[in-house]
Structure 1
Amino acid sequence: MGFFCRDTILFPILIIFGCSCFYFCSAKDTITSSKYIKDPETISSSGSLFILGFFTPENSTNRYVGIWYKTQSNIVWVANRNQPLKDSSGTVKIFEDGNLVVLNGQNQIIWSSNVSNTAVNTTCQLLDSGNLVLLDNSAENIFWQSFEHPTDSFLPHMKLTSNKRTGEKLRITSWTSLSDPSIGKFFITLERLDIPEIFIWNGTRPYWRSGPWNGRTFTGIYYMNSFYLKGFRIIDDGEGTIYSSFSFPDVTKFILFVLDFQGVLYEKDWFNDTIQPQQNYSIQTSECDIYGLCGSFGSCNPNSSPICNCLRGFEPSSRMEWDMKNWTNGCVRKTTLQCEKVKDGRAQGKEDGFLKLQMVKVPDFAERSSSSEETCRSQCLENCTCVAYSYSPEIGCMSWKGNLIDIQQFPIGGLDLYVRLAYSDLEKGRHVRTIIIIIAIIGTIIIAFGAYVLWKRIVKHSERKSKNRWFSRLRKGEEYSEKAQDINIVELSRAKLPDLLTYDFEKVAMATNNFDQSNKLGQGGFGPVYKGIFQDGQNIAVKRLSRASGQGLEEFMNEVIVISKLQHRNLVKLLGCCIEGGEKMLIYEYMPNKSLDTFLFDPSKQKLLDWRKRFIIIEGIARGALYLHRDSRLKIIHRDLKAGNILLDENMNPKISDFGMARIFGGSEDQANTRRVVGTYGYMSPEYAMEGLFSEKSDVFSFGVLLLEIVSGRRNSSPHNNEDTLSLLGFAWKLWNEENITMLIDPKIYDTNLEKDILRCIHIGLLCVQELARERPSMSTVVSMLNSEIVNLSPPKQPAFIQWQSLLCSTSNEGSQGLFSNNTVSITEICGR
């Protein structure tokens, strides 16, 4: 009897245990008729890359079922986007008809895969591609998949389809807002299937287009190439469907594209299994990317002012509207085409011709043919309705009739467009070019003659004897002892000057058009900087030391010796020097984008620096400073890191410049003292400004100030609150203590998806500007922090100089307070805090 009771009790326990084991031991990436998930349960793909579950958007209380990449901040698909759950009682399961459904707490279906021909027994599986598939138990037939019903994300291997026969198109649709994933007003489709293009639509109106596909790239995305978007392809399946897809063979990299609620298409890049995207930037790069911004026969160039201009031979249809920057009505032709005159029976004249526009995004509504380039031109010329043509070996002949819409000028890439003009309009252009060439030739002759005369006069009155004696010592590396009272210049002059090009004054004068004001790039604390072009076409920047400036042979020797021994991608390159009598000049590589402050503090240019570019600049400055401190043959303290001394090359990469104040340390030296405090208000560390002590940590302080300026888009040497008392450091510290530090972020770069990365940079900046030098991190630690090699950051302590008045107490010593920095230096009096 006892055995019978014991057996009766154990049997149901074993059944329950077996069922539980079946439920929990089944695949973690599937939902079956017997396995479902309830809020907040989840399933994950086999490689744990993607997760399906319940989530609540920011600033919302609604619950949704979605798929995310690693974390809920990376949502890539939403099921019930238009039917949110109002509480946490939701369930995802396989319904009795075989469909995947989302049920609320009352077991009402609020979303369904809604397939009519499913099998009775189906399984839903989340794949490592991020695709959620509904299939039969044999896994042979897929009845439904999320890739065919996307929300706002375009993932690798997903197909953006368009059917030629039925006109049916797959859409990628934006959210309504950051807190509402319901279908928004922007969506992406594949259009113009004869020459495929990707379009973003704002309702029924086109908002952006990619330009024609040439078999390798979209020609309207000028920076796109086979490396940048490797794996992109457009395929015709032969059954009427065209689709665009992409994939990346690099397993260490994951990329997807997201259409945000404002119609901006972002690329998000993950590297080496990171949780958050390490790169997040917009495919649209300027206002010119807005479809048809300049109207018909208008061309948009983000680097011109105004950005819209009528094509040659055309004029605004309404001058008043055009002057008010309302360009939507576009431009009209000035001169009637000859072919139209012939058609109307009017007198004949010279034949129409074509104006060549290079490197442009060609207009919308192209018609394609397989004609050769020569035939393409002749066919367009013979057809009076043809207003333009373009030829690409990959695409073939493209021609346009009617208005030309959405033309954009590119700095590189794009295609050549030939616009039909009346012969007289072409002749006007030729006359203008001829006049310009003649004026340029005459001007060059006059300038060359003037430069020669000037050089002869300088040579005649130069102090040859003094110059030759000093220059000989400089070349031989002998000790320069004229200023022996300053121990620093004695130490520097003992260094051996490496092989460095020296330039004649005449050559430099000719390169700069005799230092013409039109070539002046800026005014530094020690003299002007000019742009020049040598006869071989090399662009240069010439720093011409003013004789009245405070920088004499000491600073000049210092900069020549220091920078000539440095080689780093984030340091400006010194090409040579020029010494003629009293003239002292340094010749650098030319930086076309000038200095960082010209972008950072100019409201009209700040938008050109998105967060990706700003972070690259921050990291580049940090690596340049680290090289100076630790990795170069010399240990160098710059002593004047600031926005005005960070130059930007053509790719907006930063380069540290102006080494006139730099100091070389011996191998065992960590700190030095000076009686002459030099630098720029707002960037000097407290121990340097107050006591003349400087070290690596002095540069770290300056870097911290610069980092906070880059993130905020504000100067440190200006008031930053209503009381007009706080410096940028004080303002940042106040917001940090109030746990409101996001208010410091420049609104032009603020993005909730980037907020974590930006706040980390602010945290690093505050650590760098702490009052005590020993508490600041070294530059090597800063670089590790920026690269997230150091995950946990210590809390910062109060910065120095939090009061604005303390920075500017001696206003007579401060230079220009204009929009851009003026390299103000050489302060000699410091007020106590």
Structure 2
Amino acid sequence: MNFALVLIPMWVLTTALIVTIIEARPEPTISTTSGHILLVEEQPIIQFSAKMEAQSPGLPEVRVIHHQDLNKRILIALIVASTLLGGILLLLSCCWIYRQKTSKHSNEKTQRTIEVPKGTPLSALMVEFNSLRLGSRKGSVVGFNYQLLEAATNKFSESNVLGEGSSGPVYRASFDGKFIAVVKKVDGLRQDAEREFENEMNWLGKIRHQNIIRLLGYCIHGEARFLVYEMMQNGSLETQLYGPSHGSTLTWHLRLKIAVDVARGLEYLHEHCNPPAVHRDLKSSNILLDSNFNAKLSDFGLTVTSGKNKENKKLSGNLCYVAPEYNLDGKLTDKSDVYAFGVVLLELLMGRKLVEHKAAAESQSIITWAMPQLTDRSKLPNIVDCVIKDTMDLKHLYQVAAVAVLCVQPEPSYRPLITDVLHSLIPLVPMDLGGSLRIADCVVSA
């Protein structure tokens, strides 16, 4: 509401009122005798009248007006005008406060929790859920009622368990048999669980990117916390590489596409997110794949604003993904994510777990073992995953290996920016998979 548009007309009316009062005052009476003007002087009425009668007995009586009456009228007019303006300002202020409260109440209403009375059919619940989800503003997170999640997961039955995450089990949820989602249970009794739960909601509630998992909603029930995500039909990259299929469904070009998708997600966090963020927990189990093997980053419980070093130095479950500088002295930058990306790229290249157990009391990091062979072109083809061996252009293989070696350099300043990594990998991915490589340029080397 623009106060000036209301105050200006009121001020004009008040000014006109004052001018009218002033112009309505009586003018002093002026008499002339023999061409001479008699001026009225401020003298006592008795003395002035006597003098005039002595000098000119035939002249009309001169009236004397006191200025005190005029001043009183002006003062009254000013008081009335000020009172009127004050009342208008008070009224406008009350209207503005009421409007702000109404707007705040409306925003809170868009994020209300779905209330589920006992015995309500699931189809009726979905009507309410869809109307709320579609009506909420961008960036908001829908609050689910516990009964709705319980019904969608068949009371969190073991048959609906998709896996076990770092924070708890993950369930498949079917809403009315049409809408499928994933429900992750966060153990509220676990240390830092509440902080990570709030952190993930804050980040994913405002992030919208094709390579970052979409958070649909949340639920708080007693000590338990639940997060609801979009369904990713092909699970995690870790499951694809080391599960029953042992990476057989991941071709060379499909692996490069996954690497490009992950790099795009990280580039968004580092370069375009406001404020810029460091994922801090990038690993193959946190890279999820949809039905078309589009990769999306997940698990943002440890994500922090870029440039901030947290006192809580909780690390990824596998130290092989953790940059050396963060492991030693807690230094955290976007180059920490680049190091973890390099490790994931090596997994895609070799199809091996990051730690090999050679003896009961001895284990060796796959990075330490592979590094000398990655830089030797004669040995490099021998450490490639047997599923994709001899299916790629050797020049492309050398280039991917070189990018991986740069990303896992111990010194952060030697690592490239994720944007540079992305630009190095896009030309190796076919156009139909989101890259710039033309199929005619794909020369398979034996």
User: Into which bin does the TM-score normalised by the smaller protein fall?
Assistant: 0.5 to 0.7
Structure 1: give runs of 5+ residues left out of the alignment.
1-450, 454-496, 790-833
Q: Which amino acid aligns with 1:761?
A: V
Q: CA deviation at 1:725?
A: 5.1
Q: CA deviation at 1:546?
A: 1.2
What is aligned with 1:596?
237
1:505 corresponds to which of 123, 146, 167: 146
Q: Does 1:552 align with 2:189?
A: no
Question: Closer, same or farther in 2 for the Cα pair 1:537/1:556, shift >3 Å?
Answer: same
Q: Per the alignment, in what secondary structure is the counterpart of residue 181 of structure 2?
A: strand
Question: Aligned ranges for residues 264-343 of structure 1 at < 5 Å?
Answer: none
Q: Per the alignment, in what secondary structure is the counterpart of residue 248 of structure 2?
A: helix
Question: Closer, same or farther in 2 for the Cα pair 1:737/1:583, shift >3 Å?
Answer: closer
1:642 corresponds to which of 268, 283, 308: 283
Question: Closer, same or farther in 2 for the Cα pair 1:593/1:551, shift >3 Å?
Answer: farther
What is aligned with 1:742?
381
Distance across 2 between alignment mates of 1:583 and 1:752? 48
Q: Per the alignment, in what secondary structure is the counterpart of residue 150 of structure 2?
A: helix
| 1:710-767 CA distance string (max 9 Å, x none) | 110011122589x965421112212135541222211110126422212211111110
Distance across 2 between alignment mates of 1:724 and 1:760? 32
Q: Which has the higher strand share?
A: 1
Q: Does 1:579 align with 2:220?
A: yes
> Whose relative contact order is higher, 1 or 2, with alpha carbons under 8 Å and at least 6 apart?
2
Distance across 2 between alignment mates of 1:786 and 1:587? 32
Q: Does 1:705 align with 2:346?
A: no
Moved over 4 A (4+): none
Question: Aligned ranges for residues 664-703 of structure 1 at < 5 Å?
Answer: 664-665=305-306, 670=307, 672-681=309-318, 682-703=320-341
Q: CA deviation at 1:549?
A: 2.1
Q: Which amino acid aligns with 1:783?
A: L
| 1:531-560 CA distance string (max 9 Å, x none) | 101126110100111133234221111000
Q: Per the alignment, in what secondary structure is the counterpart of residue 309 of structure 2?
A: strand
Q: Which has the larger radius of gyration?
A: 2
The two structures have a TM-score, normalised by structure 1, of 0.34
2:251 corresponds to which of 610, 620, 627: 610
What is aligned with 1:779?
418
Question: Closer, same or farther in 2 for the Cα pair 1:656/1:505, shift >3 Å?
Answer: same
Distance across 1 between alignment mates of 2:247 and 2:358? 18
Q: Would the aligned equivalents of 1:526 and 1:550 in 2 still touch at CA under 8 Å? A: no
Give the number of aligned pairs.
Answer: 292
Distance across 2 between alignment mates of 1:538 and 1:512? 12
Question: Closer, same or farther in 2 for the Cα pair 1:766/1:513, shift >3 Å?
Answer: same
Q: CA deviation at 1:452?
A: 5.7
Distance across 2 between alignment mates of 1:700 and 1:753? 24
RMSD: 2.5
Q: Would the aligned equivalents of 2:269 and 2:276 in 1 still touch at CA under 8 Å? A: yes
Distance across 1 between alignment mates of 2:155 and 2:185? 12
Question: Closer, same or farther in 2 for the Cα pair 1:500/1:760, shift >3 Å?
Answer: same
Distance across 2 between alignment mates of 1:720 and 1:571? 37
Question: Closer, same or farther in 2 for the Cα pair 1:546/1:507, shift >3 Å?
Answer: same
Q: Which has the higher helix share?
A: 2
Q: Would the aligned equivalents of 1:697 and 1:773 in 2 still touch at CA under 8 Å? A: yes
Distance across 2 between alignment mates of 1:630 and 1:753? 31
Q: Per the alignment, in what secondary structure is the counterpart of residue 515 of structure 1?
A: coil
Distance across 2 between alignment mates of 1:499 and 1:732? 45
Distance across 1 between alignment mates of 2:324 and 2:284? 19
Question: Aligned ranges for residues 174-213 of structure 1 at < 5 Å?
Answer: none
| 1:404-449 CA distance string (max 9 Å, x none) | xxxxxxxxxxxxxxxxxxxxxxxxxxxxxxxxxxxxxxxxxxxxxx
Q: Would the aligned equivalents of 2:355 and 2:363 in 1 still touch at CA under 8 Å? A: no
Q: Would the aligned equivalents of 1:525 and 1:549 in 2 still touch at CA under 8 Å? A: no
Q: Does 1:764 align with 2:403?
A: yes
Question: Aligned ranges for residues 377-396 of structure 1 at < 5 Å?
Answer: none
1:732 corresponds to which of 370, 375, 394: 370
Distance across 2 between alignment mates of 1:741 and 1:622? 23
Question: Closer, same or farther in 2 for the Cα pair 1:728/1:603, shift >3 Å?
Answer: farther
Q: Would the aligned equivalents of 2:167 and 2:193 in 1 still touch at CA under 8 Å? A: no
Distance across 2 between alignment mates of 1:757 and 1:684? 27
What is aligned with 2:107?
none
Question: Closer, same or farther in 2 for the Cα pair 1:703/1:535, shift >3 Å?
Answer: same
Question: Aligned ranges for residues 53-72 of structure 1 at < 5 Å?
Answer: none
Q: CA deviation at 1:691?
A: 1.1
| 1:788-833 CA distance string (max 9 Å, x none) | 59xxxxxxxxxxxxxxxxxxxxxxxxxxxxxxxxxxxxxxxxxxxx
Aligned identity (percent) is: 34
Question: Closer, same or farther in 2 for the Cα pair 1:759/1:610, shift >3 Å?
Answer: same
Question: Closer, same or farther in 2 for the Cα pair 1:788/1:652, shift >3 Å?
Answer: closer
| 1:79-124 CA distance string (max 9 Å, x none) | xxxxxxxxxxxxxxxxxxxxxxxxxxxxxxxxxxxxxxxxxxxxxx
